[in-house]
Amino acid sequence: MDKKDLEREFHMTGGDGKTSYARNSSLQKKASDVAKHITLETLQQLYKETRPKSLGIADLGCSSGPNTLSTIKDFIKTVQVAHHREIPNQPLPEFSIFLNDLPGNDFNSIFKSLPDFHIELKRDNNNGDSPSVFIAAYPGSFYGRLFPEKTIHFVYASYSLHWLSKVPAALYDEQGKSINKGCVSICSSSSEAVSEAYYSQFKEDFSIFLRCRSKEMVAAGRMVLIILGREGPGHVDRGNSFFWELLSRSIADLVAQGETEEEKLDSYDMHFYAPSADEIEGEVNKEGSFDLERLEMLEVEKDKENVNDTSYGKAVAKTVRAVQESMLVQYFGEKILDKLFDTYSRMVDEELAKEDIRPITFVVVLRKKL
């Protein structure tokens, strides 16, 4: 699937139904909460250094759930605290909030929440010192320019940069057939050529991302990137890649039962890559527009049993479904999805009972060079 098709078709499941991202993004929220103190500290530091009258904040890959607006509210409160500490006699800055995602994203569900969002903001500021907040949507790929030059002070991208701009072209032979048969991403049976194809695509995409943001951001502007990654140089581990390996196995299970065709599994490739810390740092240094202020590895504690007696496998299955449904439907049809994710949640729980699965998240803080 080429870049243009992906931009049109890929999106988190919209609305607020049973399988929507809005109702199945709690794993993302958990990790963002762990990274929250780093994010807000960075924003505070930026405000202290720049003190703009109008503050441009971009959320890249904002998706469509409740996480988006609760994050924006945190940003506003943090700047207010910094403002009252630094320059209490000056008026509060205006906030320009730019929400970005691919055009298929359910922006309407965010906009429908805005009246309540503004009411809550006013209520939180009962002393009448309510800031002016302007919120706009910027649909498009962040692997390209999105904003005018030097307009953005703070960029936040949570759980978006491990999605590549496209499935790497090098995954296909001269006949257009995938060389990664039986796997939806890098897995234990993938050849070195598969890992190399994904890594090359990540390097190309991430350097374009940095170059575009460097034009759009002001000097000393900050970026906080929360990215799924991996611990060591090896591409296969019992971390993020293992979840996709189990998805491959779950589809193979349905193939064995005659529920879908093997060719469909062989031709289904994901545009996902979990970089290592060295790979992230290498690209930041090579592109050269940003100083790497922080790079921290987080491991989010998992609730093997949560309050609703939902197993960890079920929680992962719901999240993966909300993220991948838009693409899976095109290849396999809607009919098999319930069965596929029942199998998947069972497999995750079975594997977890054997040995731990440790997905890694990186929090990256970059400062635009002067």
Q: What is the predicted pLDDT for the residue at 171?
A: 96
pLDDT tens per residue across span 322-368: 888 888 998 899 999 999 999 999 999 999 999 999 999 999 999 99
Rounded Cα gap, residues 203 and 352, in angstroms:
32
* Mean pLDDT, the chain, whole residue set: 89
Give me 240's structure tokens.
């993020």
- CA R_g for the chain: 21
* Cα 113 to Cα 69: distance, rounded to the nearest angstrom: 8
Q: Which of 250, 237, 256, 219 is nearest to 359 (CA)?
A: 237
Tokens of 314: 């079920």
Q: Which residues on neighbouring strands pair with residue 229, listed in sequence order?
A: 360
pLDDT 10s digits, 138-155: 999 999 999 999 999 999
* pLDDT tens, position by position, 235-271: 999 999 999 999 999 999 999 999 999 999 999 999 9
Q: CA of 152: how far to CAs of 15, 214, 223, 303, in Å?
A: 29, 10, 10, 37
169-201 burial, b for 16+ CB within 10 Å, e for fewer?
eebbeeeeebebebbbbbbeebeeebbebbbeb
Return the higher-pLDDT residue of 7 and 170: 170
Q: How far is CA 7 from CA 36, 167, 328, in A?
A: 29, 12, 15
In one-letter notation, the amino acid at residue 277 is A
Indicate whether 216 pLDDT > 80.
yes
Kindly indicate the confidence band of residue 29, based on its pLDDT and cuts at 50, 70 and 90. low
> What CATH number does the domain located at 3-368 have?
3.40.50.150
Going from N- to C-terminal start, the domains of the chain cover 3-368
Per-residue pLDDT band for 20 (boundaries 50, 70, 90) equals very low
Q: Report residue 26 as tokens.
A: 């709690």
- Stretch 283-293: mean pLDDT, rounded? 98
Q: What is the pLDDT of residue 46?
A: 97
SS3 of residue 113 by DSSP:
helix
Q: How sure is the predictor about 127, in pLDDT bands with cuts at 50, 70 and 90?
A: low
Higher pLDDT among residues 287 and 322, named by residue: 287
Distance separating alpha carbons of residues 112 and 103, to the nearest angstrom: 17
For residue 27, the model assigns a pLDDT of 52
pTM for this entry: 0.89
Those residues whose C-beta lies under 8 Å from the C-beta of residue 359, and which sit 6 or more positions away, are 228, 239, 240, 243, 299, 300
Output 24 or 323, whichever has higher pLDDT. Answer: 323
pLDDT digits (tens, 9 = 90+) for 151-175: 999 999 999 999 999 999 999 999 9
Check residue 305 and give its pLDDT: 47
- DSSP secondary structure letter of residue 283: H
